[in-house]
Amino acid sequence: MEDTLKIAVVQSNLVWENPIQNRMDFTKKIEGISETVDLVILPEMFSSGFTMNVEAVAETMEGESVRMMKGLAAKKQAAIVGSLIISEKGNFYNRLLYVKPNGDMDVYDKRHSFSLAGEDKVFTSGTKKVVVDYKGWRICPLICYDLRFPVWARNTENYDVLLYVANWPKPRISAWDALLKARAIENMSYCVGVNRVGLDAKNYEYPGHSTVYDVLGERLSTIKANREQIEIVTLRKSHIEKNRRHLGFLNDKDTFNLTT
């Protein structure tokens, strides 16, 4: 088990419904990371932007974007994480892929569809919470709108890192900031949020505000708003263990069962 986990937060603009260009852009960005890192995190729907026009951009699990992620993970010897639109057995999923350097993958389908944008009418919701074991760390990956639902994120699995990838727009960015910090504090875990920047084809603006919080809700990142940027942050297992042992807040959590 490694005490440190070095993550690269990739805050990026997305080209609307253009997987080819987005793959080219992210390949260049990831290959340009000069430091050795363990984990590279991309935004939600990194290949297309947050579109409901699924027929234009959906891929399969054997598609080019998955191949890109596998190739980059192997080349950089780092896990690559991000969500994209996947077509499978007649359904469409907003699916997060956690691709490890050896090619193994964990997948998480977005549980909470964003009904305000009609996502619930296009996408099939996931039913399974996922915790990824990686380099001795337990990582729980979730997607955007999931952030508003703390019961789904509740740390009943003793995870170390809660991770959100997003396309979170400017008018509600204060909620993004507040909820990421709250999720870190209430779950006594690191909480990482990676949001896109720029305008989409519907003229929605995304300001970024990608960030990393420690288990006490202290911000570790210095990434700027409204700009493309890659920031590398080191997480420490000893920080989690020390504070959980000293404070013991998770020992007092409620017991409950989720039904789907």
Q: Is residue 257 part of a domain?
A: no
CATH number (domain holding residue 246): 3.60.110.10
Tell me whether residue 133 is in a domain: yes
- 172 pLDDT exceeds 80? yes
Residue 110 known to be catalytic: yes
Residue from 59, 140, 144, 181 carrying the catalytic annotation: 144
pLDDT, average across residues 158-173:
98
Active-site entry in 44, 59, 119, 186: 44
For 259, the token pair is: 């039904």
- Within a domain: 232: yes
Instruction: Look up residue 84 and give its two tokens.
Output: 């994209």
**Percentage of residues in the chain having pLDDT higher than 90:** 96
Residue 71 lies in a domain: yes
Structure confidence at residue 260 (pLDDT): 62
- Per the structure, the complete domain to which residue 150 belongs is given by 4-252
Q: Which of 40, 42, 29, 46 is nearest to 5 (CA)?
A: 40
Q: Name which of 82, 72, 39 is nearest 234 in CA terms.
A: 39
Q: Is residue 26 part of a domain?
A: yes
The Cα–Cα gap between 216 and 188 comes to: 7
Q: Which of 70, 76, 100, 110 is catalytic?
A: 110
Band (pLDDT 50/70/90 cuts) for residue 2 is confident
**260, part of any domain:** no
Is residue 140 part of the annotated active site? The answer reads no
Number of domains in the chain: 1
The pLDDT confidence band at residue 164, using thresholds 50, 70 and 90, is very high
Per residue in 5-60, pLDDT (tens digit) is 999 999 999 999 999 999 999 999 999 999 999 999 999 999 999 999 999 999 99
Sequence-separated (6 or more) residues with CB below 8 Å from residue 219: 181, 211, 212, 213
Residue 1 has pLDDT above 60, yes or no: no
Residue 188 belongs to a domain: yes
